[in-house]
Amino acid sequence: MNLKPLFEPRTLAVIGVSSTNERHPANVIFEKNNHRYPVEVFGVNPRGGKLHDEPLFERIGDVPKKIDLAVIAARADFVPDILAQCIDAGVKSAAVISGGFSEGGRADLQERMAAIAREAKFPFIGPNCLGLFVPFRVDTFFLPIERMIKPSPGNVAFVSQSGGILVDQMIKFTQQGVGMSKAVSIGNKALVREIDLLKYLLTDPATRVIAFYVEGFGAGEGREFVLAADCSPKPVILMKSGKSEAGHRAVSSHTASLAGDYTSFAAAVAQHNIIEAADEQELVSFCEVLSSYTQPIEGKIGIITGSGGHGAMAVDACAAANLTVPAFAAELQDRLRGQLTENVRSIASVGNPVDLTGSAVDDDFVACAKILAEAPEVDCLVVLLLPYLPGVTLDIGVRLSQVQKQFRKPIVAYVPHVEKYNMMIDGFELNGTPVSPSIEGAVLMAKALARKKPC
């Protein structure tokens, strides 16, 4: 199957547009794409008519141009026939937004639709989904444009069985400055599944990190997915629900998925080149750091802080994440102390964590970062910044990012995310250095880098 028309359509048909109900999902999709995205949009309604002076065509075959992507938002009973009409009309792909299939007890309808598409090698997303969002290209989400939070364009692709989880993650990505290349809601995944999207995204030049929210796999499907991800040159992150017995039941009622035995699944994932995120915080942290750095590390962490308490918390977080915080030898400690400013030199602790105290200035952080960036004792730096320290300026983010670029050793930072400190945060993020709003999040970023190398 050729998935390119799904993500790069030049023509879009929205099937199910209403001439009377402005809030109908199909109308929302039509309006947000029409004149806002570089696609030519056509509306289809069996009664014809007009929508804001735009003609509505009675059948997909009546549309005067060949369609790359059809968005189907009609009643479930009608969808298999509509899909067949799309194939007859030469449509290249579809997103079936409609619900009421296997998740509602109509597995027969879903299988009929899938059989029609399989025979024609016709790719479609869904049903029971939001479809696709590609920045500056197409948006099939039936969410009003004024309420939708869209991350900036970036290099993280996120594929989700749940539309709600996907939208929530887009909000979190926006809050933490993580850019997206593509967002895909696959719902019941009757035809196009995670493995198909993984294979496509591996070849997508706009995508560097591939993340999944998975509720369950079909028989044998999980093994195929894990083996494909094992050899992925791009990081693959997975967050799964249905881990508990109650969660298993919730998954089955949501998208009629088979959650399977989570313990066995987690063990299989841990053996291969997949990073499992335990929750949404881990998912966002993993995506952010891997969108900046893709080379795996061993997990030897050097911590630089302006507060001893912050350093101690970071050490505990590293231990929980199976990362090491090696004690520095006397020679390395002497080098660190020798580069500190006079006011800090006699009071700093340089054993790892390097506690520069509340008297530190930018030069102290930068000097220590340069020394540790060259030191074989560590392969990643976690810098805990307290923007309210009097000697720390808003330029520190830019300066530490330059250290990372010079020495090519990963740096992750902690800075409280409040508007007052946005300039400091931007100094990091605009220069490719990830920043977490929590100490634990910064350590989780380092944890994501300590991953298995591709086979």
Residue 417: the pLDDT is: 87
CB 36 within 8 A of CB 8: no
Q: Render 308-332 in DSSP notation, one character per residue.
A: HHHHHHHHHHHHHTT-B-PPPPHHH
Residue 246: the pLDDT is: 46
Residue intervals in the chain for CATH 3.40.50.720: 1-128
pTM equals 0.89
Tell which CATH architecture fits domain 1-128.
3-Layer(aba) Sandwich (3.40)
Residue 455: the pLDDT is: 59
Residue 452: the pLDDT is: 66
Which residue's structure tokens are 């050793």?
409
Residue intervals in the chain for CATH 3.40.50.261: 149-291, 301-449
Handedness of CA 10, 16, 19, 24 (dihedral sign): negative
Q: Does domain 149-291 have CATH number 3.40.630.30?
A: no
Residue 241: the pLDDT is: 86
Rounded (5°) CA angle 281-197-60: 120
Letter string b/e over residues 376-413, b meaning 16 or more CB atoms within 10 A of that residue's CB? eebbbbbbbbbbebebbbbebbbbbbbbbeebebbbbb
Cα atoms found within 13 Å of the Cα of residue 119, Cβ hemisphere only: 9
Residue 228: the pLDDT is: 87
- Taking each continuous run of H as one helix and of E as one strand, the counts in the chain are 17, 20
- For residue 78, the SS3 value is helix
| CATH code given to domain 301-449 | 3.40.50.261
Distance CA 218, CA 225 (A): 11
Whole-angstrom CA distances from 64 to 40, 44, 60, 314 are 11, 12, 9, 61
Whole-angstrom CA distances from 243 to 280, 330, 334 are 15, 47, 49
Residue 454: the pLDDT is: 64
Sequential pLDDT tens for the chain (455 residues): 899 999 999 999 999 999 888 889 999 999 999 989 999 999 999 999 888 888 999 999 999 999 999 999 999 999 999 999 999 999 999 999 999 999 999 999 999 999 999 999 999 999 999 999 999 999 999 999 899 999 999 999 999 999 999 999 999 999 988 999 999 999 999 999 999 999 999 999 999 999 999 998 888 888 889 888 888 899 999 999 866 454 445 544 445 554 556 677 777 777 777 899 999 989 999 999 999 998 899 999 999 999 999 999 999 999 999 999 999 999 999 999 999 999 999 999 999 999 999 999 999 999 999 999 999 999 999 999 999 999 999 999 999 999 999 999 999 999 998 889 999 999 999 999 999 999 999 999 999 999 766 65
Residue 20: the pLDDT is: 84
Q: Render 416-449 in DSSP notation, one character per residue.
A: ---GGGHHHHHHHHTTT--EESSHHHHHHHHHHH
